[in-house]
Structure 1
Amino acid sequence: MPSDQPGETRAPGPIRSEPGSLLEHVPVAVLGFDTAGGVRYWGPGAQDLFGHPAATALSRPAAALFPASPRGPGPAERLVERALTLGYWRGRLPVLHRDGTVFDCGFRVFPVTGAGEGEVVMALASRGDELERVKTNLAFLDALFETCPIGLLMLDEDLRYVHLNQALADMDGIPVRDHLGRDPADIMITADGGEFRRMLRAVADGGGPLVGALVGMRTPGRPDVDQVRSVSLFPLSGAAGSRPGVGGVLIDVTDRERARLEATAARRRLALLDRASARIGTTLDVDTTARELVDAAMPEFCDGSVVEMVEWMYPSEAFDPDLPLITRRIAAGTVLPPPAPALLSARDRVTYPPGSSIHRMLSTGRPLRATVDEEFAARTVGDPERARRLLDSGLGSIVIAPLIARGHVQGFTIFGRSAARPAFTGEDLGLAGELASRAALCLDNARLYSRVQDISLTLQRALLPPAPDATAHVSVAHRYLPGSRAIEVGGDWYDVIALPDGQVALVVGDVMGHGVLAAASMGRLRITARALARHSPDPEGLLTELDAAARDAGIELATCLYAVYDPRTGHARIANAGHPPPLVRHPDGTVETVGDVLGVPLGIGGVPFRSTRVRLPDGAVLALYTDGLVEARGQDIDEGLDALRAELARAAGPLEREADRILAALLPDGATDDTVLVLARIRRADAEDGEPYEE
């Protein structure tokens, strides 16, 4: 035991406890008393504690270090006596500082014996308040490890458990003792390719603390429970020479992360549903609507999708689960590689045997989830080759949702996910049903519209002339183009009528509006015009009668152009009821507008009609048309008329070929409104024989 003797150099600083412990910062004084009551040894921390230098302390009695005792033995005597009697004693006594202050001090005393020397009592002394601080800290740490609700651990430099609390053991489902000495990778099993282990090693090697890293894991104690933990790690090797290793704080945030993920997934589902609602049903076309449903679902919701319509024998047919179900696939798509695209190919008739998942879904009328496996393929896909292709497609799970609108089952849609993605959840099942429900209404609207449009087109074509009357002096090429499926059928019509006296009447008209009513009104006017023309070819009188017929039928607005050509004179009389005027191409290629007295449309009444008399040269081409040929959105009608004049000027060839060429030039993307074009080449009855016109 070193000592300070008179005249020796004082050792610097107090003696402290073992580095790395909580006692490291508690000064400890070492001193010794002999049995005669003197100070025998004075350690380096004694001066700091009592304030006396070694020379002074060693020359004074031990009693000088303590307040005077009013009666009985003094504190120094009691320390010596208890050490000699008990062999070891610890306790608290007040001590006297050199400056006269008294403070509490903790002592540990025990006797020592040296060769040739008498007994000496050694004392270790520390301030009482410092000891209380350490005691409090130790108590706090003990309480922290015992009662803290979050996981605490200590790993050694080899990254093995040396200490952990009960909260972490409970999280792992493994007792504390079964952790000690084991590697964390044996307890916290992750699927991150060793990333968690690399994080631990990086911190242990001085890489700095890591705060709040999210780690997904399972443990042997809870092998069926997925956990997410917030992990904070800090190195122990830098703590004033303490034992190297890693300390950690682990918090189970599984519920929080699950709630966050569920909230995020819910927001994504709502966003997808909102986008799908905007994208599905932009047209009244069944195939387009089905394609929009497939495109809206991929790739965010699924990796492949099909839409199939049930081929019912009649509209009111009830579903029979004991019979095979035949469907027509009208839309399909996938982002998966082959053979998935061939499996999901569109416009393919599919037969599902009784007992299939499709039958189960239609029996309940609710969406259904299924795993794509051997059993599913065998029960649902009747064709073995197709079943094998399904199993090889990469699809792992599917959802089948019915397309039901207005109480009618139209078909169903199938959404499929790759086996590499999480399977569909119950929430996904609800989203699939919502997507299908919204699409079903759009599909039913498109189906009903298509049916009405088909009726209108059928009626319109039935009311148009199957073939204009053939005449010797007027050659005709005629074209009728219905508007696109986005526009209902209109009331455009035309006719060529051979009159009893050798004259020829050409008629073109347009009933304002669309749909069945417009088609029916058009048919009524065409038939009325044909009947009137054969009894009274006078253009003014015919339009007057048509006007009265229109008003009697409730037709509010219709245009009509009526021209009568007399091949004997080469003259034509043209009357117009608000219709675009006809154009004439002369044999030299010039084009002019004739009969440009427009007049008022039919159905208005009260205004007389007038006619224009024009002479048409032999070989001239008369062009009659409706506004669908020259009107377009964003284009002035004069521009359309100029384009028609330019194309008509080139019409020197056969009329059939020229009619197709003119339509292709003026309507390159097809008609957006009903369009009629009639080209009539004029021959005079008294014209000299020459080269015939090729028709």
Structure 2
Amino acid sequence: MGDGVPDPARPGRGELSSVAVPAGGLLDLVGVCAVVLDARGRIVLWSPQAEDVFGYTAEEALGQYAASVLVGTEHHDLVAGLFAQVMRTGAHWAGAFPIRHRDGSRRLVEFRNMRLEDDGGAVYALGLAADQAQLKDLEAALALSDQLLSQSPIGVALLDTELRYVLVNPALERINGRPAAEHIGRRPRDLLPLLDADGVEGTLREVLATGVPVIDRHVVGRTPAAPDEDHAWSVSFYRLEDSAGQVMGVANSVVDITGRHRAAAEAERGRRRLTLLAESSTRIGTTLEVERTAQELADVMVPELADIAAVDILDAALQLRRDEEGEGPRRFRALGYASAYP
């Protein structure tokens, strides 16, 4: 928007957006809930997610003493001491604590507790809680993902919707010849000037727009890892979405297939040579005329082996005699000519 008026749909740094963002972030995956207690330990605020963690609805929990509802009797004294410490000192407390679920089961819940104060001087206790088993599952999944990326021999990158790198694994660092820190926040064209940046970024935008992945596209070029030598890669692109369907960016995987590419190119050259030999045996020497044979030889050479071919024969050879030494310069006769250009 013009005239210095901020656009609410494009918040600046430190600004809040008025645009609703669908659920599905990390906090939703963890299932974090919020519970607020007054100075006497009674529940005065109860988030909808708290029902998932503790099993009680807001109607059942509000106004109740948290210790009597959520904790077994054997832990009442310990909870009372922790609550008093937080309320008295303002120091936060974090850790896992066994709670009593509405269904009667006992579960470990991760807590982050802190003191709040309103504008009238009243103090409250805020508890942020999440089921520990769910947290452990998420931590294990994140750890596994990290190991898969860091140990994978396949280059992997994640780019945001503006095609800026947000993650690069060690394999892609080696392929591109640049450390991960130099990738973050930059686009492919900024890092890989020796490649067809327009083609790569055009494909990325198409995948972002359509959601249709591109698999096993072969790219040949050079990177800072080997600026004087062509390499070949098999690249794949696919769009990333969160659990709510919000587009997060695009993932890129890269496999170096230089050896396979060179072997295929050499095999193709060998096949073409064999084909040329086979064609030569049928196209050259169809008559006993020297001029005709010379032209056939030139025609076979172009365009498979050369853009222009000329067949010159010693005039003496055509006359079936040898020139004597000292008889002057040897003369050639042009008998065949072919060009790939009109």
Question: By the TM > 0.5 criterion, same fold?
Answer: yes
- Partner residue of 2:98? 94
Q: Does 1:24 align with 2:28?
A: yes
Task: Tell me, in whole angstroms, the C-alpha distance in 1 between the residues paired with 2:303 and 2:172.
Answer: 41
- Partner residue of 1:209? 213
CA RMSD of aligned residues (A): 3.5
Residue type matched to 1:327 in 2? F
Distance change in 2, residues 1:78/1:275 (3 Å): farther
- Partner residue of 1:218? 222
State the Cα distance separating 1:56 from its structure 2 match: 3.0
- Partner residue of 1:61? 65
Task: Tell me, in whole angstroms, the C-alpha distance in 2 between the residues paired with 1:193 and 1:169.
Answer: 17
- Partner residue of 2:338? 333
- Partner residue of 1:625? none
Task: Tell me, in whole angstroms, the C-alpha distance in 2 between the residues paired with 1:326 and 1:66.
Answer: 111
- Partner residue of 1:175? 179
Task: Tell me, in whole angstroms, the C-alpha distance in 2 between the residues paired with 1:239 and 1:257.
Answer: 38
Task: Tell me, in whole angstroms, the C-alpha distance in 2 between the residues paired with 1:292 and 1:300.
Answer: 14
Alignment partner of 2:305: what SS?
coil
Structure 2 residue corresponding to 1:139, chosen from 129, 143, 151:
143
Structure 1 residue corresponding to 2:166, chosen from 117, 138, 162:
162
Task: Tell me, in whole angstroms, the C-alpha distance in 1 between the residues paired with 2:309 and 2:204.
Answer: 45
Q: Does 1:309 align with 2:313?
A: yes
State the aligned residue count. Answer: 317
Alignment of 1:115-264 (within 5 A): 115-116=119-120, 118-189=122-193, 194-206=198-210, 208-220=212-224, 222-236=226-240, 240=244, 244-264=248-268
State the Cα distance separating 1:145 from its structure 2 match: 3.8
Distance change in 2, residues 1:319/1:307 (3 Å): farther
Structure 1: gaps of 5 or more residues: 1-16, 338-695
State the Cα distance separating 1:237 from its structure 2 match: 6.8
Residue type matched to 1:80 in 2? F
Distance change in 2, residues 1:141/1:267 (3 Å): same
Distance change in 2, residues 1:139/1:79 (3 Å): farther
Residue type matched to 1:278 in 2? T
Q: Does 1:114 align with 2:109?
A: no
Q: Does 1:77 align with 2:80?
A: yes
- Partner residue of 1:662? none
State the Cα distance separating 1:190 from its structure 2 match: 5.5
Distance change in 2, residues 1:93/1:325 (3 Å): farther
Distance change in 2, residues 1:172/1:191 (3 Å): closer
Distance change in 2, residues 1:52/1:195 (3 Å): closer
- Partner residue of 2:294? 290
Distance change in 2, residues 1:140/1:175 (3 Å): same
State the Cα distance separating 1:318 from its structure 2 match: 11
State the Cα distance separating 1:239 from its structure 2 match: 6.5
The 8 Å contact of residues 36 and 127 in structure 2, kept in 1 or not, is answered as: yes
Task: Tell me, in whole angstroms, the C-alpha distance in 2 between the residues paired with 1:294 and 1:158.
Answer: 55
Alignment partner of 2:304: what SS?
coil
Task: Tell me, in whole angstroms, the C-alpha distance in 2 between the residues paired with 1:237 and 1:292.
Answer: 62
Alignment partner of 2:222: what SS?
strand
Structure 2: gaps of 5 or more residues: 1-20
Of 274-283 and 311-320, deviating more is 311-320
- Partner residue of 1:487? none
Residues 384-430 of structure 1: per-residue CA shift (max 9 Å, x gap): xxxxxxxxxxxxxxxxxxxxxxxxxxxxxxxxxxxxxxxxxxxxxxx
Q: Does 1:268 align with 2:272?
A: yes
Task: Tell me, in whole angstroms, the C-alpha distance in 2 between the residues paired with 1:88 and 1:110.
Answer: 4
Task: Tell me the TM-score normalized by structure 2.
Answer: 0.77
Task: Tell me, in whole angstroms, the C-alpha distance in 2 between the residues paired with 1:190 and 1:240.
Answer: 38
Residues 435-479 of structure 1: per-residue CA shift (max 9 Å, x gap): xxxxxxxxxxxxxxxxxxxxxxxxxxxxxxxxxxxxxxxxxxxxx
Distance change in 2, residues 1:35/1:44 (3 Å): same
The 8 Å contact of residues 189 and 197 in structure 2, kept in 1 or not, is answered as: no
Residue type matched to 2:59 in 1? A
Task: Tell me, in whole angstroms, the C-alpha distance in 2 between the residues paired with 1:324 and 1:95.
Answer: 109
- Partner residue of 2:4? none
- Partner residue of 1:610? none
Task: Tell me, in whole angstroms, the C-alpha distance in 1 between the residues paired with 2:49 and 2:85.
Answer: 23
Task: Tell me, in whole angstroms, the C-alpha distance in 2 between the residues paired with 1:18 and 1:82.
Answer: 38
Residue type matched to 2:191 in 1? I
Task: Tell me, in whole angstroms, the C-alpha distance in 1 between the residues paired with 2:105 and 2:189.
Answer: 58
Distance change in 2, residues 1:92/1:254 (3 Å): same
Residue type matched to 1:289 in 2? T
Alignment partner of 1:225: what SS?
coil
Residue type matched to 2:80 in 1? E
Identical columns (%) = 35
Distance change in 2, residues 1:86/1:155 (3 Å): same
Task: Tell me the TM-score normalized by structure 1.
Answer: 0.41
Distance change in 2, residues 1:214/1:19 (3 Å): farther
The 8 Å contact of residues 111 and 119 in structure 1, kept in 2 or not, is answered as: yes
- Partner residue of 1:666? none
Residue type matched to 1:265 in 2? R
The 8 Å contact of residues 276 and 297 in structure 1, kept in 2 or not, is answered as: no
Alignment partner of 1:73: what SS?
helix
The 8 Å contact of residues 22 and 246 in structure 2, kept in 1 or not, is answered as: no
Distance change in 2, residues 1:51/1:159 (3 Å): closer
Residues 129-182 of structure 1: per-residue CA shift (max 9 Å, x gap): 211122122223333443332222233333333332332222121232223333
Residues 583-610 of structure 1: per-residue CA shift (max 9 Å, x gap): xxxxxxxxxxxxxxxxxxxxxxxxxxxx
- Partner residue of 2:12? none
Distance change in 2, residues 1:223/1:268 (3 Å): same
Residues 534-574 of structure 1: per-residue CA shift (max 9 Å, x gap): xxxxxxxxxxxxxxxxxxxxxxxxxxxxxxxxxxxxxxxxx
Residues 635-677 of structure 1: per-residue CA shift (max 9 Å, x gap): xxxxxxxxxxxxxxxxxxxxxxxxxxxxxxxxxxxxxxxxxxx
The 8 Å contact of residues 195 and 222 in structure 2, kept in 1 or not, is answered as: no
Rg (Cα) greater in structure: 1
- Partner residue of 2:47? 43
- Partner residue of 1:374? none
Task: Tell me, in whole angstroms, the C-alpha distance in 2 between the residues paired with 1:306 and 1:211.
Answer: 46
Task: Tell me, in whole angstroms, the C-alpha distance in 2 between the residues paired with 1:188 and 1:259.
Answer: 25
Distance change in 2, residues 1:271/1:55 (3 Å): same
The 8 Å contact of residues 163 and 201 in structure 2, kept in 1 or not, is answered as: no
Residues 43-86 of structure 1: per-residue CA shift (max 9 Å, x gap): 2222222222333323543233123327x834x33542564457
Structure 1 residue corresponding to 2:285, chosen from 281, 286, 296:
281
Task: Tell me, in whole angstroms, the C-alpha distance in 1 between the residues paired with 2:292 and 2:262.
Answer: 38
Task: Tell me, in whole angstroms, the C-alpha distance in 2 between the residues paired with 1:111 and 1:129.
Answer: 26
